[in-house]
Amino acid sequence: MEIRNNREQQRDDLRNRLIAAAEHQLADGGLAGLKAREVTAEAGCALGGLYNAFDDLDRLILHVNLRTLARLGQALRDAVPMGAAADRKMLALAQAYVTFALGNRKLWAALFDHRLPEGVETPDWYLAAHSVLIAEIAPPLAALRPDLSTEDLMLRSKTLFAAVHGVVQLSLQGRFIGAPLERIESEVAALVTAMTRGL
Amino acid sequence: MEIRNNREQQRDDLRNRLIAAAEHQLADGGLAGLKAREVTAEAGCALGGLYNAFDDLDRLILHVNLRTLARLGQALRDAVPMGAAADRKMLALAQAYVTFALGNRKLWAALFDHRLPEGVETPDWYLAAHSVLIAEIAPPLAALRPDLSTEDLMLRSKTLFAAVHGVVQLSLQGRFIGAPLERIESEVAALVTAMTRGL
DNA sequence: GATAAATCTGAACACTGTTCATAAACAATC
DNA sequence: GATTGTTTATGAACAGTGTTCAGATTTATC
């Protein structure tokens, strides 16, 4: 039988409550607003309970980010118009990324602002979860750039993502040299068009 | 006479010693490694002295970043080859940016990782200091893209910087979807070339 | 029910940034 | 050069963190 005994159920329950509470606090107050005491209060357990369920606050944040990445991945997959031309797909992906960032600002920021302490290496399952960021880019890019080898295609997909991300990030930061919000989409579109144009 | 009395001299001395100490700690251990007690110890003053010289640690970090921006601005200005074609100038600028980031990783990271607490608005002098990031881009871009209006030219300069920055940042972060270090320069070059190609 | 193992609890700890009463140093005036 | 008022320096104390851990509680197994 696969009866998960009460222990495991409660353990998973608590973990999920903690993740949900942390997600809530993170979406509200950003990384700086995430407090162990507030999270455990909202999750309905004692302060120490957090450290039975997770190694530390950083690991809990990683799990929140995991959820955010899953939602972002879904949004990107949903955004690709079936049967459309490759350049249309690319533009749709970029726009979906902008839309997600704008609609989930604090959680999206946590994805890129959070840092593990020096010397602590990122778990593999967390690294792997980031593949959603470029998974949808490679296929249409391959159609637009048949001159690229598989390896170069992967690299260029990462570069294209990073470039779009940079524009969105500096713009949403809103303090330095980013584009004003109402022009992000058009600037990103120009960037994507330039990068996907063949030789 | 412009005899700056002893008070002002000592005050400026202390401020400079604090900035230098903070820069040192920041270059060593990043933002997370900057501690008020270590900084004041290295600067040779009591803990409270920091709060006579600066409002708080955040403001001290802003002053360190100001220095970093000045050095970065100088590096970028030095990188533009006089009399070269505009596209060469653009590539030289991008490469200089990569080189600076690689050679000043923690201080460069502090430029973009540091956040003021919510509700505290960034001082104008700090915002203004960021103009060095795009100052050298606009002139060669104007030559390459005579079709752009002055306003669009500024916006596109920011976008181009942000795109290059995104690639460098995600690569140096080294954990997600960035290019491997040895390929950053070529990817950035491809990005710049694509973005500066005229219509 | 008895026993052993896992889990929960929250007081205590270590380490932060920041404040503030007090002391010291300085500048101005006579 | 003594007096006086102002500025600056000091570091103990404070408030807010994340994290630990000995003891209490719950759960699973026999």
Mean pLDDT, rounded, of chain B: 94
Longest dimension (CA), chain B: 61
**How many other CB atoms sit within 10 Å of the CB of residue A164?**
28
The least confident of A103-107, B147-151, B172-176 is B172-176
**CA angle A76-A82-A86, nearest 5°?**
80
Residue closest to A109 by CA, chosen among A192, A60, A171, A40: A171
Q: Mutate which of A118, A152, A153, A165 to disrupt the B interface (most B C-beta within 10 Å)? A: A165
Tokens of residue A192, six digits? 């994507």
Residues 30-89 of A with CB under 7 A from strand C: 45-49, 51-53
Residue type, A125: W
Tokens of residue A190, six digits? 């120009």
Counting residues of chain B whose pLDDT is more than 70, the rounded percentage is 96
The more confident residue out of B84 and B175 is B84
By C-alpha to C1' distance, D17 is nearest to A35
Residues of A engaging B, defined by a Cβ cutoff of 8 Å: 29-30, 32-33, 113, 115, 117-118, 122, 127, 130-131, 133-134, 155-156, 158-159, 161-167, 169-171, 175-179, 183, 187, 190-191, 194-195, 197
Query: Torsion-angle region of residue A177: left (phi > 0), alpha (psi -120 to 50) or beta?
Result: alpha
- pLDDT tens track for A11-59: 999 999 999 999 999 999 999 999 999 999 999 999 999 999 999 999 9
What is the predicted pLDDT for the residue at A174? 83
- Judge whether A192 and A145 are in contact, CB under 8 Å: no
Q: Nearest Cβ partner of B166 from A167, A179, A190?
A: A167
Quickly state the pLDDT bin for B199 (edges 50, 70, 90). low
Element (H, E) at A9: helix A6-29
Quickly state the pLDDT bin for A8 (edges 50, 70, 90). confident
Chain Cα centroid distance, residue A2 = 33
Average pLDDT over residues B155-162: 96
Q: Is pTM beyond 0.85 here?
A: yes
- pLDDT tens track for B118-155: 999 999 999 999 999 999 999 999 999 999 999 999 99
- Judge whether A100 and A149 are in contact, CB under 8 Å: no
What is the least distance, in Å, from the CA of A179 to any CA of chain B? 6
